[in-house]
Chain A
Amino acid sequence: MNDRSDIQGQDALEHPHVERHSHAGHSQAPLNHPTVALVGNPNVGKSLVFNFLSGLYVDVSNYPGTTVEYTRGAYKGYEIFDTPGVYGISAFTAEEAVTRDVVLESDIILNIVDAVHLERDLFLTQQLIDMGKKIVVVLNFMDEVRKIGLEINTELLASSLGVTVIETTATTKKGFDRIDDALTKAHTGERPPALHHKLHEMLKLTGSEAEALLILEGDEATAQRHGVAPGHEREPLYIERRNRVNLIINSVLSERNVRTRIATLVGRWAVNPWTGIPMLFAALYLIYLFVGKLVADDLVDFTENTIGHQLWEPWIRGVIAQVIAPDSALGTLLVGEFGVITLTVTYLLFLLLPLVIAFYLSLAFMEDSGYLPRLAALVDRSLNALGLNGAAIIPLILGFGCVTMATITTRLLGSEREKTIAAAILQFAIPCSAQLAVVAALLAGAGFTVMVIYSITIFIIFVAVGTILHRVLPGSATPLLIDLPPIRFPRLDNVARKTAYRSYYFMKEATPWFFAGALGVGLLQLTGLLTVWQDLLEPFTTRWLQLPREASTAFVMGMVRRDFGAAGLYQLTLSQYQILVALVTITLFTPCIASFMVMMKERGLREAFVVWAGTWIVAFAVGGLLSQALL
């Protein structure tokens, strides 16, 4: 059963020499590394264990649905897979289908269990055991178990399940050193004889017990793979399994004067309208103070003006002037009005970067605290009016980070209809962090009234897009069903790591487009096409929107990236209300190229083009109406 006694060493971050193991009895080729899948419910610390074992970073969040795809890493002689968090193995959601396939392919399952929620998590554990997989159970959050006054008899649990169980505390990595040894002892667990008998019948058709069980439980994809009809025994099998889990719980878990933690109370306040709504506003106000005031006002003022305009630009102009004449074509492209290495570098490094980091930092705090699912419950009924349920708040909030990324996460929503509505709202009315950064910086100069009118206008469009689609599209919203993770104070190292990782990838993606855009606009200027474009849009920009004709340049830039478009407004001299009109127009304007591509991929060509064309109409209509009313 165990041929891996040769694996030694404690340092998890090293990847020593390649070891090969023969591994009989599985569909895997004999010379492959044994594969280990990390499987567990959402928010149980899988990703922390994976980070520890593989030394690779994967995104960790305190809400369901972070991991939509699996991640692969190496640990000593093993190939390890991190999987999306699930409550059971089947295909109820996109994540489950991914996890199911990884589980079916793996030799060993490292099942991470939240010891505080043992009753919930053991259902999955028992299902994995019923599938006939070799398993090691990791009881995580043992520190919290003791803190709240629970007691778990781990030895009894191990013998009831018939597998190895180890205790850990993921946050301090206590007990992680025992994973290594436990993996070598992984074996199959206890199954009721009746189930064994049932599986035996199906086994002739499938060749693996795991697949036999899934087919009995009505999993369509697995049934199709083997050309058999899916079974109808999900409910009786689930009920029987649930009863077995409850019996085990009764014998291993004891509660002695369980304390309600303050964090639990905070979680309850977050879903109570009387306390939850003030909490939401307090959270938004704190973010505004941090991002809008501290970073957008004070820090960016220093980085952009002092470092960018006063130090970097004159210096680089001087350097370039020694080689290339500043008035020449190349000189204009490099250091002219839209200079690729003057203006673009200032925008990217001294304006955008500080703001993007600030946004991602705020988002990371919200995510890791466990607040977002509670917000989902709080806004559930309101989102019903837009044809969505509360769960859609997660992609919508992520949209304030990056619309492109958020459009991908609409996959997690319950129906095609909801995905269409959420994606359209994202593309129309949610400004991403980069764009919001520039918007915030411009708004800060325009005063409080403008900020309020701007927010209300965008909010009205947000509601209008959802309401109209909800009326027009056939069908109705699927009801919310979401588990609320415990409220935890975010781990600062995780927040820092996540912010750094996301900011890096964001800048990596944005930078080429910024340079390409600046180059493009520079070329348009050189060839005189910019004037042609400005003439073409003249009636719209100067008469309808009542903005300077140069504002149309911002719209060219806006088609590349919305934040780039907003940045293009930066150098214009505008009155208070002109700023408002320009910002509303550019916010509602076409989504950036990257999110348009993702939109095509996720929602199809037709939907993407309808939305793209729609943004032109809505942006100019709403911007113009505001302008006519105010200017």
Chain B
Amino acid sequence: MQTSPVALSKAAKGSRLVILDIPEGRARSQLLRLGVTRGELVRCLERLPGGTVVILKHRQEIAIGVGLAAHILVAYAGTEK
């Protein structure tokens, strides 16, 4: 039950997301090392005012600034519980 693409910086707090696209560059390689890549499921733990997000991949929490999060495309994969 995927929805249309949305920027990660605009994803709702608490939602489960599937990663659709990450812009090319070092950040993409770095996220790949952390296990965050196209097709992976993550959870949006927090969306701070201004668009900085904290995502959860397995048990790893990762903070992503708006400059990057605005260019990462995700789709909702159903809200938890």
B partners with A? yes
Kindly provide the distance from the CB of A470 to the nearest chain B CB, expressed in whole angstroms: 14
Is A377's CB under 8 angstroms from B59's CB? no
The answer to the question of B77 belonging to the interface, with a C-beta cut-off of 8 Å to chain A, is no
The answer to the question of B17 belonging to the interface, with a C-beta cut-off of 8 Å to chain A, is no
Chain A 483-509: CB-based contact to B (< 8 A → 1; otherwise 0): 110000000000000000000000000
Task: Chain B residues near A272: list those with CB within 8 A.
Answer: 46
The answer to the question of A271 belonging to the interface, with a C-beta cut-off of 8 Å to chain B, is yes
Task: Chain A residues near B50: list those with CB within 8 A.
Answer: 380-381, 384
Task: Chain B residues near A380: list those with CB within 8 A.
Answer: 48, 50, 52, 63, 65-66
A496 and B66 alpha carbons, distance in the complex (Å): 38
Kindly provide the distance from the CB of B44 to the nearest chain A CB, expressed in whole angstroms: 12
Are A271 and B45 CB-contacts (below 8 A) given A117-B60, A238-B29? yes
Main secondary structure of the interface of B (DSSP, over half): mixed
A389 and B27 alpha carbons, distance in the complex (Å): 14
A273 and B51 alpha carbons, distance in the complex (Å): 12
The answer to the question of A242 belonging to the interface, with a C-beta cut-off of 8 Å to chain B, is yes
Chain B 10-48: CB-based contact to A (< 8 A → 1; otherwise 0): 000000000000000011111111110100000001101
The answer to the question of B68 belonging to the interface, with a C-beta cut-off of 8 Å to chain A, is yes
Kindly provide the distance from the CB of B2 to the nearest chain A CB, expressed in whole angstroms: 20
Is B46's CB under 8 angstroms from A119's CB? no
Task: Chain A residues near B65: list those with CB within 8 A.
Answer: 380-381, 384, 389-390, 477, 479-481
Is A390's CB under 8 angstroms from B58's CB? no
Task: Chain B residues near A87: list those with CB within 8 A.
Answer: 30, 33-34
The answer to the question of B69 belonging to the interface, with a C-beta cut-off of 8 Å to chain A, is yes
Are A119 and B60 CB-contacts (below 8 A) given A92-B30, A483-B34? yes
Is B62's CB under 8 angstroms from A479's CB? no
CB-CB nearest in chain B for A482: B63
- How many residue pairs bridge A and B at CB < 8 Å? 122
A44 and B46 alpha carbons, distance in the complex (Å): 25
One of A116, A268, A384, A479 near B46 (C-beta < 8 A): A268
Is A239's CB under 8 angstroms from B37's CB? yes
Task: Chain A residues near B60: list those with CB within 8 A.
Answer: 117, 119-120, 483
Is B35's CB under 8 angstroms from A120's CB? yes
Chain A 303-334: CB-based contact to B (< 8 A → 1; otherwise 0): 00000000000000000000000000000000
A283 and B48 alpha carbons, distance in the complex (Å): 20
A271 and B64 alpha carbons, distance in the complex (Å): 12
A87 and B26 alpha carbons, distance in the complex (Å): 13
Task: Chain A residues near B62: list those with CB within 8 A.
Answer: 481-484
Chain A 72-115: CB-based contact to B (< 8 A → 1; otherwise 0): 00000000000000011010100000000000000000000000
Is A479's CB under 8 angstroms from B33's CB? no
Chain A 263-278: CB-based contact to B (< 8 A → 1; otherwise 0): 0000110011100000
Task: Chain B residues near A120: list those with CB within 8 A.
Answer: 33-35, 57-58, 60
Task: Chain B residues near A378: list those with CB within 8 A.
Answer: 48
CB-CB nearest in chain B for A89: B33
Kindly provide the distance from the CB of A243 to the nearest chain B CB, expressed in whole angstroms: 10
A482 and B64 alpha carbons, distance in the complex (Å): 7
Kindly provide the distance from the CB of B23 to the nearest chain A CB, expressed in whole angstroms: 10
A268 and B48 alpha carbons, distance in the complex (Å): 12
Are A481 and B58 CB-contacts (below 8 A) given A87-B30, A268-B46? no
One of A116, A235, A481 near B59 (C-beta < 8 A): A116
Task: Chain A residues near B45: list those with CB within 8 A.
Answer: 268, 271
Is B64's CB under 8 angstroms from A484's CB? no
Chain A 226-263: CB-based contact to B (< 8 A → 1; otherwise 0): 00000000110011001001100000000000000000
Are A271 and B48 CB-contacts (below 8 A) given A88-B33, A238-B32? yes
B interface, CB within 8 angstroms of A: 26-35, 37, 45-46, 48-52, 54, 57-69
Besides A246-B35, A479-B64, A479-B69, 13 other CB < 8 A contacts? A87-B33, A90-B29, A117-B58, A119-B58, A376-B63, A380-B66, A381-B51, A480-B64, A480-B65, A481-B64, A483-B60, A484-B61, A484-B63
Chain A to chain B contacts (Cβ below 8 Å), 23 pairs = A87-B30, A87-B34, A123-B33, A124-B33, A235-B28, A246-B35, A267-B61, A268-B45, A272-B46, A373-B63, A376-B63, A380-B63, A384-B50, A384-B66, A479-B66, A480-B64, A481-B62, A481-B68, A482-B62, A483-B34, A483-B62, A483-B63, A484-B61
5 shortest A-B CB distances, which residue pairs? A381-B50, A479-B67, A480-B65, A479-B68, A479-B65
